[in-house]
A and B are shown apart, each in its own frame.
Chain A
């Protein structure tokens, strides 16, 4: 019985010792999301020169409650073809991490889709290819056909089926970015 009591006491003591020992008030290390894409910028430069049209979506808190800030600077001109470039940044880090290079490195696993809504008469074509000869979409051309207004949705997909028919539904994969811009063609 004595040994028994002693053992029990010892065990309790051991637990409290362990418990106290851990109470060292070291605050945990902050984690900055490494894979977050906060910013997507699409720059459309008219072939043959002129002012570029810039569309941007920026969501500083990632999956947090604040909505992204969406801006479109400039209107498209009917009958003009633009050289398009997509740039992705993680601005939660300083300096901002350029995700575009990661996408370019893993271009077989990514594709950017440009989907025009009704009312917006544009034609897009990919001008880049991955190692397998499939489109990526970091570089593309956009032709504004006739005047009007509508939406242009830009979707970045991770691990889509490649090759695909050029539509996001056929490609599948996971959406990393999806933003719809209001665009006007004069």
Chain B
């Protein structure tokens, strides 16, 4: 009995304690960075197996809880799951902060952490991580080609430069990991030194609105960013293997990332790319192989309020240049153009002989940023870039094997960027950047310098604001100032110095008269202003519009200022002009974006008016001991570009989607309405994609692209004396080739192996019909057909 009473007492005691079961645990789950509510986050009390889900406000509530110690697990599909211990003794309010990650692994643009800020008045386009993986074996230029309004200027199949709305080279700024790429981009035959596999996303801005990076991107900007690193104890990686039938080679790329809960991380990524001679449908394109190696590594710490990162990237390539493109003079060019096949066709080989380029680009970077208060952030970066370019030509005697061009370009860049939210909806950012660049052309080549010795100092400052007037209207405006100072040492041939009257105009520039050459020291200063203003407005749930005006100005590049000599593959003499001033562009672009049931479209008409646009065109025939060459001189003329890009997408069934793309651009000189040279022809691309989630996410796509013939071109033909026939013949270097249709196919099938690893198998065929064609924007179109059919096998493993 006593025992019973005792037990009862105990029970009562326990009950008295345990009966306090009417506590409430409530609170919010919000984003660590911007305090936005997390909707649909799950809070799980382990001990009670109870679950609550957050509502629209991110609010959750548990009722009738007993006091006690509990372990809570808070999870959200887009965030790192967190675990918290609580002691519940009374009603309690707890707010949990979670950090986005899983979804954003594939997302570069993240408020507060990425250096890159989305523009509000420009519709951005680009390549997602999946697009990049699909194009793993390609160059940046080839990969970007699938975006409407973006095409490429090729020198054979190995050198591919992106063109945005008809403009390229110095007019397109490439930003890699937050720094402008300085890799002698002025040259038409200089492809961007970038391995796309090191990037997670590529954004293309089709105008000069990205003032944060540059004020001279008259054509636009290409922004590449590496993946974000997750604050989590993790180790993951991926390997992609691509094998291609054309060129009989492949690409292998691997990436490994290690992250710690503390925020420290490290990443290493490497790519090997090796191809032999590529093939046109009917013959081998001799000496067009490629050998590329690249490495990207970074480490740092990623904390809630600050981030610090050091990185190093190494890129080295060796690319063959079509043997049949190397010419000695107009007579050779006449023979090459009038031959249906390249004049030199050899058996397939992996060897890369002369002519070829060997380029090494290294980037060392330190960057960091820190949050102040809730809405401000200050960031700094220092970057050192070194670009070494060797070009090997067909040479004679002791010079065989020695490079003809040996350039070393070093660039130091430092910058500080600041951004803040001034009031609700009003964001402001500003920054300054300074850089120092030095170009050293090695005289031991025994060939007169293509680009002179120079030192360049540059300072830039920008301020950009954007304002969210209401739910529908966004406004943004920005301004940027750039100052460039160039100190140049240039040897001119005395004959040219005098012919151009420079001896009378600039006698003070002469440092030394060496008889046949004069050494001069031009010092040039350019001050450029650029600005942008734009709005974006949501007309309805279905239609949104963007309008942007961008003023950009670009200082002439070293090639436009100082070229002087024979350009072998074009068989012409090119002359720059040291009197050039900056090019100024005024671009207006409008974008309408709509969604109607299963139909989506983006319509983007634009107009770009460029004052003092630098063009190169033939002016006269020059007699030399090698024959009579055409002289192409750089000249400035007011020009305008008009164009439209249209993208549509239509869901035909649950699994079938039809996408179309149409790009058109026209460009003329203002004075005489003469069309400009090398403007992309109109392109119309269609793609039918089939995707079936119930078939393990099988994807298949059939695409067809029709490239029209460019009907508007300047006539630069000239006469050449052909001794064998004792006749004067017309050398047609102007007429564009016919239009062509290319059919492509791709398929992708993912497998799950083990628990976490994923394997994706892909097959694609390019130029399925093995069509023989020549592309107006391939500078070697005179000498050979473009690539024939290419069967590519892709293998991707995530682990």
Contacts and interface: CB of A to CB of B under 8 A. Distances in A.
B723 A180 contact: yes
B396 A38 contact: no
A30 B446 contact: no
A37 interface: yes
B103 interface: no
Contacts of B394: 158-159, 174
A35 B414 contact: no
12 contacts: A1-B370, A4-B368, A15-B414, A15-B434, A30-B514, A39-B625, A40-B625, A62-B625, A64-B493, A68-B625, A155-B331, A168-B331
Contacts of B499: 65
B327 interface: yes
A131 interface: no
A37 B397 CA distance: 13
Given A63-B624, A169-B724, A174 B434 contact: no
A99 B555 CA distance: 42
B670 interface: no
Contacts of A15: 382, 412, 414, 434-436
Nearest to B726: A117
A18 B436 CA distance: 9
Contact of A64 (B445, B447, B495, B721): B495
A176 B445 CA distance: 19
Given A68-B624, A118-B726, A173-B332, 16 more contacts: A19-B436, A28-B453, A28-B489, A31-B443, A31-B445, A31-B448, A33-B448, A35-B447, A60-B516, A65-B495, A117-B723, A174-B326, A174-B327, A175-B329, A175-B331, A175-B627
Given A28-B489, A65-B496, A118-B726, A22 B455 contact: yes
B436 A30 contact: no
Contacts of A30: 443, 491, 514, 517, 519
Interface in B711-740: 721, 723-724, 726
B565 to A, nearest CB: 6
Contact of B623 (A8, A28, A67, A176): A67
Nearest to A67: B623
A34 B622 CA distance: 21
A28 B416 contact: no
A33 B443 CA distance: 10
Interface string A124-162: 000000000000000000000000000101010111000
A158 B399 CA distance: 14
Interface residues of A, number: 63
In the A-B complex, the 8 residue pairs with the smallest Cβ-Cβ separation, listed nearest first, are A174-B328, A175-B328, A153-B723, A34-B446, A67-B623, A59-B625, A117-B726, A102-B397
B391 interface: no
B286 to A, nearest CB: 13
Interface in B28-42: none
Interface in A38-82: 38-40, 57-68
Nearest to A18: B412
Contacts of A12: 414, 434
B271 to A, nearest CB: 30
Interface of A: 1, 4, 7-8, 11-12, 14-15, 18-19, 22-23, 27-35, 37-40, 57-68, 92, 102, 105-106, 109, 115, 117-118, 151, 153, 155, 157-159, 167-169, 172-180
Contacts of B399: 34-35
How large, as a class, is the contact surface on chain B?
Answer: 35 or more
B378 interface: yes
Contacts of A117: 723, 726
Contacts of B396: 35, 102, 106, 109, 158
Contact of A7 (B380, B519, B624, B627): B380
A31 B625 contact: no
Interface string B554-583: 000000000001100000010000000000
A19 B413 CA distance: 11
B701 interface: no
A170 B448 CA distance: 32
A70 B93 CA distance: 99
Interface string B627-645: 1010100000000000000
Nearest to B404: A35
Nearest to A39: B625
B378 A22 contact: no
B328 A115 contact: no
A179 B331 CA distance: 11
Contact of B726 (A32, A105, A151): A151
B469 interface: no
A12 B380 CA distance: 11
A159 B327 CA distance: 11
B403 to A, nearest CB: 13
Contacts of B447: 31, 33-35
A15 B436 CA distance: 7
A10 to B, nearest CB: 9
B65 interface: no
Contacts of B395: 35
Interface string B402-436: 00000000001010100000000000000000111
B326 A92 contact: no
A39 to B, nearest CB: 8
B434 A57 contact: no
Interface string B442-459: 010111110011010100
Contacts of A28: 441, 443, 449, 452-453, 489, 491, 519
B765 interface: no
B335 A172 contact: yes
Contacts of A39: 625
Contacts of A63: 565-566, 573, 624, 626, 629
Contacts of B127: none
Nearest to A120: B726
A163 to B, nearest CB: 16
Contacts of B702: none
A168 B399 CA distance: 25
Nearest to B449: A31
B438 interface: yes
